[in-house]
Amino acid sequence: MSSTGSLAGLGQKAYDQLFKQVLTRTDPEWIHHRAFSAIRAARPLTERVVGAGAARVGQPVEAMGIRFPHALGLAAGFDKNAVGIDALAGLGFGHVEIGTVTGEPQPGNPTPRLFRLPEDRAIVNRMGFNNDGAEAVARRLAARAASGRASDVVLGVNIGKTKVVPESEAVADYEKSTGLLAPHADYLVVNVSSPNTPGLRDLQAVEKLEPLLRAVRRRADEVTEPLGRSRVPLLVKIAPDLSDEDVLAVADMAMAVGLDGIIATNTTINREGLRSDAARVAEIGAGGLSGCPLTERSTAVMRLLRDRVGPDMTLVGVGGITTVADALDRIDAGATLLQGYTAFIYEGPLWPRRIVSGLARG
């Protein structure tokens, strides 16, 4: 083993011990904020050492008219407010998807709202789209672009519905976010699949989803064309809990609308087959489950989508990707790009580079 590999192995062992002895005994949301602060503070070092290494070994991917440095990105949910995009890129992610951002700022659901299930390498969250709102995030993205210190990471912006906005006004709410954020995004994602905003998943029904996506598409074009920008790619993120029939219906609709891609999948409300103590799972209660329990279903959804949409549409695989084998399986199932979140929490800051290196080896 090379000296670099030896150091990486030691670093992984140290993180594993830290996670087992400290992080599993600390409030997950509190530790998320502390860890994210540390990642931002360490940016000068990580982007020279870790991120640069991932960039060297990564295999570029052309998708949606964008050149991604490699296939792996960070899923929405980690950086909700666009405060650490470039620091996260410094860890080796080729794209970072911020959000979910809503039209209006909102605090999210009451705490506690984030829980670990270590036996399943899983997380349950019912955060409820806590974020600073589209206006604040847009200002932050504009300042980042003007600073001259922004990295070349591909930036995705994930938008969702404000909780207090009734379903009858959901389109206008998404249009507000689109108007503010599309000018700063390399691609835009409509999130209708979180289980933590009441009524949101109802928007996945094709008869509601199609007019929503057409409205977002129009608004994105209205605000970017005067800037001389190329068309901002638009994707939709779907839940693993859709029936196979509904997955295919979304695929057909995506092609009819002219979407650039589909992200599959979000978290699940299913609790079947977990190794964790049933009483503990019941105590945690409602929320979206992410991590290893999603691997099988998310891969199956990916296969359904690829078989339906053909070879050209961009499909982003997310949900239960932990190992290099998981990543290769998802690509074999039809994924163009990959995203992770829960594995990043459980495996630590060297995880992105490990996956990127493994993909390069094939």
Section 207-223 average pLDDT = 97
- Contact between 91 and 50 under an 8 Å Cβ cutoff? The reply is yes
In this predicted structure, the answer to whether residue 101 has a pLDDT above a threshold of 60 is yes
DSSP letter string, 210-232: HHHHHHHHHHHHHHHGGGTPPPP
Q: Which helix H or strand E contains 281, and what residues bound it?
A: helix 278-284
3-state secondary structure of 129: coil
Rounded Cα–Cα distance for residues 120 and 118 (Å): 5
Instruction: Note down the domain range covering 109.
Output: 3-361
**Is 267 part of any known ligand binding site?**
yes
Q: pLDDT above 90 covers what percent of the chain?
A: 85
**Is 15 part of any known ligand binding site?**
no
- Contact between 71 and 338 under an 8 Å Cβ cutoff? The reply is yes
Encode pLDDT of 22-73 as tens digits.
667 789 999 999 999 999 999 988 877 776 767 778 899 999 999 999 999 9
pLDDT at 18: 67
**Is 94 part of any known ligand binding site?**
no
Cis peptide before 112, with omega less than 30 degrees from 0? yes
Tokens of 82: 């666009």
pTM: 0.94
3-state secondary structure of 329: helix
Rounded Cα–Cα distance for residues 159 and 176 (Å): 10
Domain count, the chain: 1
Rounded Cα–Cα distance for residues 48 and 194 (Å): 35
pLDDT at 5: 52
Catalytic residue among 177, 194, 290, 357: 194
Rounded Cα–Cα distance for residues 297 and 290 (Å): 12
Section 120-137 average pLDDT = 98
- pLDDT band at 1; cut points 50, 70, 90: very low
pLDDT at 7: 44
Q: At 351, which CATH number?
A: 3.20.20.70
**Is 196 part of any known ligand binding site?**
yes
Section 129-156 average pLDDT = 96
Mean pLDDT of the chain: 93
- Contact between 254 and 309 under an 8 Å Cβ cutoff? The reply is yes
DSSP 8-state secondary structure symbol assigned to residue 362: -
- What counts of helices (H) and strands (E) characterise the chain? 13, 13
Task: Mark whether 194 is an active-site residue.
Answer: yes
Q: DSSP alpha helices (H): ranges in the chain?
A: 3-21, 28-41, 43-57, 85-89, 134-147, 170-181, 206-224, 244-257, 278-284, 295-309, 324-333, 342-347, 351-361
**Is 173 part of any known ligand binding site?**
no
Q: Alpha carbon of 116 to those of 28, 201, 343: distances in Å?
A: 7, 24, 12
Burial class (CB in 10 A: 0-12, 13-18, 19+), 324: middle
Q: Looking at this protein, which amino acid is placed at residue 9?
A: G
